[in-house]
Structure 1
């Protein structure tokens, strides 16, 4: 395996170096010829013109001596323009015989690969039949030339085989998935057979569908080595083998679907509107787009699909919401290093404050009455350290604000955050409810400093005492 790879690698490198050397040699010869012609055609008249100009300037009517230099300059410009406008091509030769011209080295490589594929196919068939394999020595080369009459790679491949002196014949090659597999002299019959296989799946009225073989089958007429030609019956049998795998038919249909495009929501903070309230300034409208797919079917079942095109038919219109940031008097409080906002800014109704006196009226928090589902906001920025359900608190959230302060919000109908979330001051963390040991919709709001409870009245002293 390693020896074969080294041999192949050495052969490839040697061949590419040989092609490069030949190309450079041809270019050098051509450039030398062109340069010599230019020097001869241009410099000689210029030199003579300079001599005559010098002589003419010493005589009357010296301006007549300028004719020769001007003519030389014009001749030089004409030659440059003429040479630059020449149609250059690559002259292809086989064993010293010119077989044609190609437009580029890529076309030459394609033709040479085509020839090699035809030779390999003939060699494989002869070896399988136990016949002698001729020594087909086909080594095409190219040189730079001037020609406007170029050929296609397939035409050059045919010409190379014709010039090789090998036994050749006109035939039709069968390429399967880009690889040459068979050569037959019954190309017309094979085309008729393939058309008959596809015909039952075709619908002339369906312009969006095309019927193809799952394995790409391409037929190419040309000149081929006689040893590569297979009997027509053998080609058909090979195509029909394995339950007709190579003749498996696909229907490829263009299908179009309309789909919505989500619109963006733009929030405009407004300090003239109460905190927690919002107004829709512009209603969002979804956009529309048409997506074109190529869907592949086999035996009526979809086996593949890919997007061919996406056409935007309507741009989405963003929804614009004006959100209030104005807090009512008494809803902003400071205590030590803490700065807090009232957790239910839309409501000031307090059913009771915290009371730490032992006895019947002991209460850990301020209860803020509000309708079911009212948004509850984080009193300050921090990290959610608890978010669960408790037999007494019901659904609750606890936030550590990182400066010794913590806050707890209980009896929620639902939480809007998770443990570990980092929240901003004023971010929605849940909704007012009546879960746990509760007797009406409200927000149970506890405040801590260094793990010790204190009353929210210390932070919000201007809030109402009782039911106002």
Structure 2
């Protein structure tokens, strides 16, 4: 009875504790939700006030401005009109045709487009002046020249070329001038003559034998840049026409050498490439053409340059592919029959005469035993390809050795060497680098041999070993070699 009462009391206390905990937890959760809700209301309200304040103030200002037009114009329209006026002013200023007004002693000569044009015109004037000074100096005379052109910035005005402005500077200088023709050689003023038309006729006659009026690909000129410029020049700079011809025809000057530039276009063949794809499903030594190669074509334009008929330069200036070549694709077999590949130490070798397993005898390397023999003899028809057993360098190619006949020796670079004898022909040369499986020669019956076969020696660090150690599964037959 006592235990029953104690149990009921304990159970009642436990249930009361559980109920109190649940109620307390729920009350705390509801209070937390209430606090979070109040915080969110304040935050959202603040954001709305910040976001709506500018448009509300703008609406109020607009309402007030409509009741007061003067304030509206000053506050809104005036800044807009000012900005528009500034934009128009800038665009108008940028589009104004600014030029340089060339002046001499305060007098306007003309207008040029840029400072570079002015500098070139001024240099041209000084070249004409210096030409006159050089001629006067030969007669112990001097030329007084104190004209110094300048320029100012101006708006508008029709611009002149460099040569035209140079002519006007000379005209306004007050010096004694004349209409003449200047001869420029490689950009430098060399002579001034009043017989410009005669000189042009003479120069055209010099070029005439080399000119072909029917050709559109031939350009005829002088080897030097020879240019005639009509204009106004100082009278003291004029040279007699005969003196100009004498100077131009001088052999040491070579000014009148004729240059002919000719463009020639030829259609040339573009050879096709050969792509080799190794196929493990095809027997070693066999190959099949998967795609025939087709040559392409290209138009090659060359620039031929002649001086007095002698070719001095030939350059390719353009290449245009007319048709791209189609590569030849060859499938080469790599599958070896059982026993035709082996490994010894660090060397991996393939059977040197693929598809031919007939062996007359293996190597017998005991010099005291009867039938001493250095290599394995592999029987095969004459002309059968012999392949390199491994990659390496051809170190010996010997013709008609008294015993081995024609033979090849390969150093594989890892201590191993192989030798292939009694060949009918070679496919490699001394010093060639060969890859495993590459054809190096063909089966024959040269030297001390009594039938077509390949004598195949193997050595490591110059010590012979039997190929049987590498290819132990090869069958043996005994024809009479």
Aligned to 1:60: 68
Q: Is residue 408 of structure 1 aligned with residue 419 of structure 2?
A: yes
Aligned to 2:83, which of 64, 73, 76?
A: 73
Contact 2:408/2:421 (8 A) holds in 1: yes
Structure 1 segment 218-367 matched on structure 2, within 5 A = 218-242=227-251, 245-297=254-306, 301-358=310-367, 361-367=371-377
Aligned to 1:466: 477
Q: Is residue 118 of structure 1 aligned with residue 128 of structure 2?
A: yes
Query: Take 2:153 and 2:445, find their aligned partners in 1: how far apart are those partners?
Result: 91
| Residue 313 (structure 1) shift | 1.6
Contact 2:176/2:235 (8 A) holds in 1: yes
Q: CA RMSD in A?
A: 3.2
Across the two proteins, how many residue pairs are aligned to each other?
A: 413
Q: TM-score, normalised by structure 1?
A: 0.77
Contact 2:284/2:333 (8 A) holds in 1: yes
1:412-456 superposed Cα distances (whole Å, 9 cap, x missing partner): 42242543x554433444444454444454432111123211111
- Per the alignment, in what secondary structure is the counterpart of residue 224 of structure 1? strand
Aligned to 1:377, which of 362, 382, 387?
A: 387
User: Structure 1, unaligned stretches of length 5 or more?
Assistant: 1-52
Query: Take 1:89 and 1:344, find their aligned partners in 2: how far apart are those partners?
Result: 89
Contact 1:417/1:430 (8 A) holds in 2: no
Query: Take 2:246 and 2:77, find their aligned partners in 1: how far apart are those partners?
Result: 81
Q: TM-score, normalised by structure 2?
A: 0.75
Query: Take 2:213 and 2:65, find their aligned partners in 1: how far apart are those partners?
Result: 85
Query: Take 1:90 and 1:466, find their aligned partners in 2: how far apart are those partners?
Result: 106
Contact 1:170/1:223 (8 A) holds in 2: yes
Aligned to 1:215: 224
User: Structure 2, unaligned stretches of length 5 or more?
Assistant: 1-60
Contact 1:287/1:315 (8 A) holds in 2: yes
| Residue 59 (structure 1) shift | 5.7
Cα separation, partners in 2 of 1:381 and 1:162, compared to 1, 3 Å: same
Aligned to 1:447: 458
| Residue 172 (structure 1) shift | 0.9
